[in-house]
Amino acid sequence: MEITGAELIKAAALLGAGLCMGIGAIGPAVGEGYAAGRALEGIARQPELAGLLTRTMLLGQAVSETTGIYSLVIALLLIFAV
Amino acid sequence: MFDKALKAFEIPTIDGVREVNQVSFKLGDFNITLNLTTLIMTWITMAILILLAYLGTRRLERFPSRGQSFVELIIDAFDRLIADTMGPVGRRYFSLITTLFFFILISNWLSIIPILKNPTADLNTTLGLGIMVFIIAQGSGVISKGVGGYLKGFFEPLFIAPFAFFINIAGEVGKTLSHSFRLFGNIFGGGLIMLIIFAIPELLQTAWCRLFGEFIGRSLYWGFLWPFCKILATVILNAFFCIFVGSLQAFVFTILAMAYITIARD
């Protein structure tokens, strides 16, 4: 069975999508974990600010998640558009 | 046309992810293509919003009823949030920001009902919203700083003015792109993860039928996979990806819209 060029491109795109999602998830994971840890420290020090800290933490996490979302979009492009 | 409109209400499956339910027509020289599913779902979202607004604000009284006080609570919370984030000028943008939030919120929650889909799971919707926020931010920048001050803002810091111009332009474009891609990616990715997880029980059933024989495979599916994986997973995944992530992303989108408008103003 011969492997044609189109199949090779498809395989490379799927491999690239997997790599893109896997490597791209490292950054947001570390960043969000760091933000959550720091917010926890803040809440432990000042429990009365828990609501504000949680809200700000979620906002910052959602923003730092953007890089992960970029890799998701690239992975989707590689799967569906190639 | 009518059967295409009906097709928008089909329950999504993992095989149908690639298909786009679109209609195209010619308008003069332009070939216009519309995503019919998104269009219908956006109209449903708007209908729900108008209905809720009507139900919440009819029979306004000085001593509010239960429904009216709930609406007043929400509006008051938003008023305070906008005053905290944007300062005294924020009142002017109150209706824009609140409408944006509730439109995105209802859009993100829409896919709890199985036959409906999120309008925000389509890049056209989110990019439209992002560009709308971009134009409003730039417009209010022109209004508050004047044309000269607005244009001068693009060349700052002034000692590397020609270089800074391109960086500022790229920054504005990137802000809008990340603003809309964040919402799109979260909602579409969540929907995709749900579709993939919902497809697992059927795959396992076929695999187990082949491994252990038809009877054991089927009884394992109906006795174990169907109640635990399908029903429970539907509830839990919808609670997380629709309600939690949906509310969070709607909130983030509005907060960032406020921040962008505030930054553009001063």
Domain ranges of chain A: 25-81
Cβ <8 Å between A72 and B17: no
Which of A56, A72, A77 to mutate: most B Cβ within 10 Å?
A72
Which residue's structure tokens are 């970029």? A70
Q: List all residues 6 or more positions away from B54 whose beta carbon is below 8 Å from its beta carbon.
A: none
Q: What percent of chain A has pLDDT over 70?
A: 100
Q: How far is B265 from chain A (nearest CA, A)?
A: 22
Furthest CA-CA distance within chain A: 68
pLDDT recorded at residue A22: 92
Q: Which domain does B183 fall in, by range?
A: 2-265
Residues 47-76 of A with CB under 8 A from B: 58-59, 62-63, 65-66, 69-70, 72-73, 76
Q: What percent of chain B has pLDDT over 90?
A: 25
Q: Is B178 on the interface with A (CB under 8 A)?
A: yes
Residue B38 buriedness (CB in 10 A; 0-12 / 13-18 / 19+): buried
Is B2 a residue whose pLDDT tops 80? no
Quote ipTM for the complex.
0.79
Q: Which CATH architecture has domain A25-81?
A: Up-down Bundle (1.20)
Which member of A62, A72, A76 has the closest CB to residue B249? A62
Q: Band of the pLDDT at A80, cuts 50, 70, 90?
A: confident
Q: How many domains does chain B have?
A: 1
Using DSSP, state whether B35 is helix, strand or coil: strand
Report pLDDT digits (tens) over B149-200: 888 888 877 777 788 888 888 988 988 998 899 999 999 988 888 888 888 8
pTM given for the model: 0.86
Q: Which residues on B lie below 8 Å from A58 (Cβ)?
A: 248, 251-252
Q: How far is B204 from chain A (nearest CA, A)?
A: 22
Q: What is the mean pLDDT of residues B205-232?
A: 81
Which member of A59, A62, A73 has the closest CB to residue B181? A73
